Chains A and B, each alone.
Chain A
Amino acid sequence: MTTELLISAGSLAQIKAYAEAGASAVLIGDARFGARLPGSIAAANLKEAVACAHALGIKAYISAGKLLRNHELTGLPDYLRAASEAGADGITFGDPAVWMAARDAAPGIALHWNVEMTGTNSAAAAFWAKRGVTRAVLARELNGEEIADFKRSGSIDVQVQVHGMTNIYHSQRNLLQSYMDYLGREASLVDLGPSEGRFLIEAERPDERLPVYEDADGTHVMSADDICLLEALPELLEAGIDSFYIEPLLKSEAYNIAALRSYRHVIDAWHRDPEGYEFDEEWLEPIRALQDPGRELSFGFLYKEQVY
């Protein structure tokens, strides 16, 4: 089976555009329960969205990835039931409350464990595998050896982010609004949402721009660089990684389409002939051509050793 190429989508139009560009699965959802989605698809419209994906021959997963508060539990069973009845291919979750609710509201549906930066080892994934979870989404802060060892040591599908920015800080505080208030400036939540023009620059690091935005879940700080593992993909393919994720947040649709096409090309080329496969630098060009010059394309943590 070929490796999955997954991207988040925020609308039917995006599902179509991304499927055409080579995505084999989309992650969609309602912003009431999904975290950092590129657009919200209300529970009532999930059926149509999933059908749209299936008609295009790709899978559709539903995000329920937020950390939840008591009052958000009330609508959760209906949301999960809607996902299940829509025929979704899986639900991603981080909060154990979702696992609890899915037991009753969406029995039998595939569950994907995504705790973002805290999904760091295969034994934790095994804890969830024992509870029926079928996929672990790995922290972006793992290196190549750790990723391969994670996959080798577990009996669960592994999803790795291969492209785009990553969330590096999430607060439930309204830090932008608070700072505006402190400065005595007017601001509304609408003004503070995702925007390419809003970023933080740390005093000692003038060349790194960290996108930052605020929504109903608080404040999100994103990485200053974009992961781009296109060239390194064979390492992950050889390790048997099951799903490659492209993060579309704060990118144009054209950019995301270019990224999907490049990754689709590499995945297919490698699967056709793993031995004879050779990377061609040219394959990066469509991404580079659209890359924001203020944001570096990097290997993320793939070749890093961290200390502590």
Chain B
Amino acid sequence: MNGTAVHDAESAAGKGRRYRLDRPELLAPAGNLEKLKFAVHYGADAVYIGGQSYGLRSNADNFSFEEMREGVEFAARYGAKVFVATNIYAHQEDLPGIAEYLKQLEAAGIAAIITADPAIVETAMAHAPGLEVHLSTQQSTMNWQAVQFWKEVGLPRVVLARETSMEEIREIKSHVDLELEVFIHGAMCSSVSGRCVLSNHFTDRDSNRGGCCQSCRWKYDLHQDHGPVGDPGDHMFTMGSKDLCMIRHIPDLIEAGVDSFKIEGRMKSIHYVASVVGAYRQAIDAYMADPAGYALRPEWEAEIGKAANRPLNTGFFYSTPGASEHIYEPEEKPAPYDFAAIVREYDPETGIAVVEQRSPFRPNTEVEFVGPGGRSFKQVAGPLADMDGTSVDVARHPLQLLRIRTSEPVAPLDMMRKKIGSV
């Protein structure tokens, strides 16, 4: 953090460190080591991951300490950092191991933890001083005085509640000199974060320790005055929200003083993470390079659209969400594009790439290659051969390595995608 914090005239005058970053951080989710590599390669300045304990995604294939070390090392090559979400609300039985766990994170080179429980905040400050403590959105911080409180506690960063509006973010930033992190993309709790125990009541699964079974997206009948409100055939009531997407509003976010732009989705695919990170990276870089000349480019939105599986909206940033921001009809559908392969090698002499299969394709499948920075082109896959040179009619084996001639240069970790359903 000290490396990126701007030391302006105020801090030079001895008033202390300025917490506004010199350029906003793009913070991406990484559900496993491979996703971490893609997130960083496609432009994340930092990634957040889950460890084996104390995180809210108990079903994700979370990182071991060994994998964390490897992730930290990989990220460091790009100048990127790794944060760990320790965002549960602990129960009595969870308390004894916290200090030891946090020390291990510190030793693994983790830059920060994202945490909501004051028990974990205090333990980290006392036992793992090398870890920054970022206050999680699970604390639902929406006002400047609460941000001021956490600053006095000694935290360098607060992740604001997803209910905070753009205007409120501006006010908070004007009152308190502290790093603000804000969710800009992905799925949202429709409840105030942390203030939902539907899963506990329906299934005895503790939502605030990672057991959420997304009961808000289930179907309900709303009854009023002795009968259901909806007529037979009407879509039922749900609490499910559309997903957040702020790609059209990057200048607003930067000008409001948001320091870290956070993408949701530790459970999402490589394809999703790389596509979304790539799009926001380009938008942020374009604005920072020339704020006055900045214009939204349609290909950024298109790129996000290729990986999204829910309708999108702008959450609470500009107004309280209404009927059109919620999902009543079965709108959820698979993303229009599917991840077909990862480029592992490329030989510029021969124009031949080695790709690793992620879903089936054939020589006549139309594919699109995508790399960081918006580099992309389409081609028909063309003749396929395995590593022995044997011709292949269908790339049907997961992780199989195949040789393919590309019409333009590609690079390792470029993605090859295809329209959904095409083989």
Contacts and interface: CB of A to CB of B under 8 A. Distances in A.
* Physical interaction between A and B: yes
Interface of A: 67-70, 72-73, 95-97, 99-101, 116-118, 120-124, 126-128, 139, 141-142, 145-146, 149-150, 153, 167-183, 185, 195, 197-205, 209-210, 212, 218-219, 221, 223-224, 301, 304-308
B145 A307 contact: no
Interface stretch (B2-10, B38-46, B135-143): B135-143
A306 B140 contact: no
B208 A68 contact: no
24 contacts: A69-B142, A96-B149, A97-B145, A100-B149, A118-B117, A121-B89, A121-B91, A121-B94, A123-B90, A124-B89, A124-B117, A141-B200, A141-B206, A169-B216, A170-B191, A179-B323, A180-B229, A200-B221, A209-B223, A306-B204, A307-B211, A308-B205, A308-B210, A308-B211
Contacts of B208: 117-118, 120
A274 B320 CA distance: 53
Contacts of A200: 220-223, 237
Given A73-B144, A96-B146, A304-B204, A127 B195 contact: no
A185 B117 CA distance: 41
Nearest to B215: A202
A170 B90 contact: no
B224 to A, nearest CB: 5
A117 B95 CA distance: 17
A106 to B, nearest CB: 15
Contacts of A141: 197, 200, 206
Q: DSSP majority for the A interface?
A: mixed
Contact of B218 (A203, A221, A224): A203
The 4 residue pairs across chains A and B that have the minimum distance between CB atoms: A308-B211, A123-B119, A127-B118, A97-B145
Contact of A123 (B95, B141, B316, B323): B95
Given A70-B171, A199-B223, A200-B220, A169 B119 contact: no
Nearest to A205: B202
A295 B285 CA distance: 57
A121 B90 contact: yes
B66 to A, nearest CB: 24
B90 A182 contact: no
B221 A178 contact: no
Given A224-B201, A306-B200, A118 B116 contact: yes
Interface string B97-140: 00000000000000000001111011100000000000000101
Contacts of B325: 173, 178
Given A123-B119, A141-B197, A201-B220, A175 B149 contact: no
Contacts of A171: 190-192, 239
A103 to B, nearest CB: 10
Chain B, interface size category, equals 35 or more
Given A171-B190, A183-B234, A201 B146 contact: no
Contact of A67 (B89, B140, B211): B140
A198 B149 CA distance: 39
B92 A122 contact: yes
Interface of B: 58, 89-95, 116-119, 121-123, 138, 140-146, 148-150, 161, 163, 168, 171-172, 190-192, 194-198, 200-202, 204-211, 215-216, 218-226, 229-230, 234-237, 239, 241, 316, 320-323, 325-326, 328
Question: Which of B123, B204, B220, B322 is the most central at the interface, judged by chain A CB atoms within 10 Å of its CB?
Answer: B220
Contacts of B201: 168, 223-224
Given A70-B168, A200-B223, A95 B204 contact: no
Contacts of B323: 178-179, 181-182
A202 B90 contact: no
Given A126-B119, A307-B205, 6 more contacts: A123-B95, A142-B91, A169-B196, A169-B197, A171-B191, A304-B204
B211 A172 contact: no
B221 A203 contact: yes
Nearest to A116: B195
Nearest to A147: B92
A213 B145 CA distance: 29
A127 B190 contact: no
A99 B91 CA distance: 24
Contacts of B234: 183
A95 B326 CA distance: 27
B239 A175 contact: yes
Question: Which of B172, B195, B322 is the most central at the interface, judged by chain A CB atoms within 10 Å of its CB?
Answer: B195
A126 B150 CA distance: 16
Nearest to A300: B201
A100 B148 CA distance: 9
A180 B94 CA distance: 42
A202 B218 contact: yes
B95 A168 contact: no
Given A199-B223, A203-B236, A124 B119 contact: yes
A283 to B, nearest CB: 27
A184 to B, nearest CB: 10
